[in-house]
Amino acid sequence: MNNEMEKLSNIHPGEVLLEEFLKPLGISAYKLAKDTAIPQTRVSEIIKGRRRITADTALRFSKYFGTTPKFWLGLQDDFDLEEEQHLIFQELNDIISLQNQAA
């Protein structure tokens, strides 16, 4: 990515849940929690970006929305990788790949 380009914010799966599923379908967080037997606090924390999508949650969301568990876990993995890459950016830059060490 060009340094002159503005970095896009990392999108938490909770934002995708809210903007791409709940709002368009007219479903409240309470209804989602009730229909999927997930505690309402867990759903609210996911939407607020304060909680991860677990395997359990991914299975329930996929069944409810007709997606796959890997869709939800993939969103979480992408988010986690980008967050971690940002946190350890300098350490990653200091690592010399095995391929370059042999040269």
Distance CA(99)–CA(97), nearest Å, equals: 5
Strand (E) or helix (H) holding 34: helix 29-36
Total number of domains in the chain: 1
* pLDDT value of residue 8: 75
Whether 24 is covered by a domain: the verdict is: yes
Q: What is the pTM of this model?
A: 0.84
Whether 3 is covered by a domain: the verdict is: no
Whether 82 is covered by a domain: the verdict is: yes
* pLDDT value of residue 38: 98
Could you tell me the two tokens for 13? 């799966």
Residue span of the structural domain in which 40 resides: 13-102
Whether 2 is covered by a domain: the verdict is: no
To the nearest 10°, report the CA torsion of 77, 80, 53, 14. Answer: -110
Give first-to-last CA distance, the chain, whole Å: 27
Task: Write the CATH number for 93.
Answer: 1.10.260.40
Q: What is the pLDDT of residues 18-68, one digit of tens each?
A: 999 999 999 999 999 999 999 999 999 999 999 999 999 999 999 999 999
Whether 6 is covered by a domain: the verdict is: no
